[in-house]
Amino acid sequence: MIRLEDVFIVFCPNTPLERVALRGINMTVNSGEIVTLVGNNGCGRSTLLRFLAGHLRASVGRLWFDKVDISCQTLSERSQLFSSVFYEEDVGSAGNLTVLENLVIASLHHQRRSILAPAISPEAREMFMEQLQNMNFMRIEALADERAGNIPKPHRQVLAMMIAVIKGAKVLLIDEHSTGLDQDSAIALLEATEKIVRSNHMTTIMAVSDPKFSLGVSDRTIVLSHGQVVSNLSGYDKQKTSIGDIFNKDTSSSHYAFSSQNVLSSSSSSLSESSSSSDSPLLFSNVPLSAAPDAPSSLSDVISTSSSNLPIVIERH
């Protein structure tokens, strides 16, 4: 469905600051698939997602969507197909508008907007209130008339995903949308993400800072390093591979270790917390996804098993 052919992105070409962010990405994402991008900081995850969304143009390479070349389409031309939910919340929803107004404007996507019809008719209000209630996400319906810029981050990200559904986007691009949240909210947000994406059969490409969350959800994991696809773990492959192995592959070729792992291991040594994995070089290596007889079937299972095995959980309340 989505196919990338030899995509190169170079920032500041022909200057001393020249930086090649993507070096020949070739990948295919099938319809309805959830793909996770994994890799070090600076591996090109965000660049790739911004390229797909249309914020960046490729220096070289082609992007195909259902056998149509969309490499030269701008952000607004692509917006019917792609919708983005990024760490920067302003990309997904308009902060000056209320939650309901955001939903209304999404439903008018690429339609003629009347200059006289009132923006929110009573029927539209009722319909969108019902949709908000059906989301069943941390009482989001109570925030319907709040400005989107004032609502809590998890609600804002759910709003961005609802906008994507309402405007009929076929592909959802997620970049670190749960970063910076406390653990409960992050789990709730990821569960809501899975629910929205699965029930609407949206193709999803996501980069999540904490891969232990996303692996339970995704159908396939693509590992990036230095702007290249290092490995492509799908189905049986992935089931056989623990998260630690992914990072073994990734870090073997890099000079510096996976950054969040550094933070975790340094804090574990400073707290001198003894645990089964403190002597292991890779923190996640003790979290096999399928080695256990009861292989995790859903997201919450993965989270509960991984958090019980992990020695440190940041911000445990």
Partner 1 sequence: MLDSIISIFSFALAFTLVGLNIYLSTRVLNVTDLTCDASVAIGGCSYGALVVCGVNPLISILISACLGIFSGFMTSCFISHIKINQVLASVITLSVLKTFILKLASVGNNVGVKELAGKSIMSPAASSAVLAVVVVATVCIFLVKILRSEYGLAMRVYGNGEVISESLGINTNGILLIGLGIGNMLAALAGALIAQIAGTFSVNMGDGSLIFGLAAVIIGEKIIAPSNVFAAISGCFVGSLAYKLIMETANLGGASDLGSEYNNLIMGVVLVLLIAIIQNRGKGVPA
What is the contact surface with partner 1 in residues (CB under 8 A)?
53, 55, 74-76, 79-80, 83-84, 90-97, 101, 104-106, 108-111, 113-119, 163, 167
What three-state secondary structure class fits 242? Answer: coil
Nearest to 20 by CA among 46, 50, 51, 43: 43
What three-state secondary structure class fits 13? Answer: coil
Cα distance between residue 204 and residue 84, in whole Å: 10
Show the tokens assigned to 267.
């804090």
* Residue 115 Cβ vs partner 1, minimum distance, rounded to whole Å: 4
* Residue 182 Cβ vs partner 1, minimum distance, rounded to whole Å: 26
Question: Which DSSP symbol is given to 145?
Answer: T
Q: Are strands 68-69 and 82-86 parallel, antiparallel or unpaired?
A: unpaired
* Residue 88 Cβ vs partner 1, minimum distance, rounded to whole Å: 9
Q: Which is nearer to partner 1, 94 or 257 (CB)?
A: 94
Show the tokens assigned to 179.
């970063």
Cα distance between residue 282 and residue 51, in whole Å: 31
- Greatest extent of the chain over all pairs of C-alpha atoms, in Å: 68
Q: Which is nearer to partner 1, 109 or 195 (CB)?
A: 109
Q: Which is nearer to partner 1, 113 or 316 (CB)?
A: 113
* Residue 205 Cβ vs partner 1, minimum distance, rounded to whole Å: 16
Torsion angle defined by CA atoms of residues 223, 226, 229 and 233, in that order, rounded to the nearest 10 degrees:
-10
Show the tokens assigned to 288.
């096999």
Q: Which is nearer to partner 1, 79 or 221 (CB)?
A: 79
Q: Which is nearer to partner 1, 97 or 312 (CB)?
A: 97
Nearest to 157 by CA among 129, 183, 138, 134: 138
Determine contact, residues 208/174, Cβ cutoff 8 Å.
yes
Q: Which is nearer to partner 1, 196 or 215 (CB)?
A: 196
* Residue 287 Cβ vs partner 1, minimum distance, rounded to whole Å: 36
* Residue 175 Cβ vs partner 1, minimum distance, rounded to whole Å: 13
* Residue 34 Cβ vs partner 1, minimum distance, rounded to whole Å: 21
* Residue 12 Cβ vs partner 1, minimum distance, rounded to whole Å: 20
Q: Which is nearer to partner 1, 113 or 317 (CB)?
A: 113
Q: Which is nearer to partner 1, 68 or 116 (CB)?
A: 116
Q: Are strands 2-11 and 203-207 parallel, antiparallel or unpaired?
A: unpaired
Q: Which is nearer to partner 1, 92 or 311 (CB)?
A: 92
Bridge partners of 23, per DSSP, are 8
* Residue 120 Cβ vs partner 1, minimum distance, rounded to whole Å: 9
Determine contact, residues 264/281, Cβ cutoff 8 Å.
no
Q: CA triplet 9, 219, 87: central angle to 5 degrees? A: 50
201 burial type by CB count under 10 A (0-12 exposed, 13-18 middle, 19+ buried): exposed
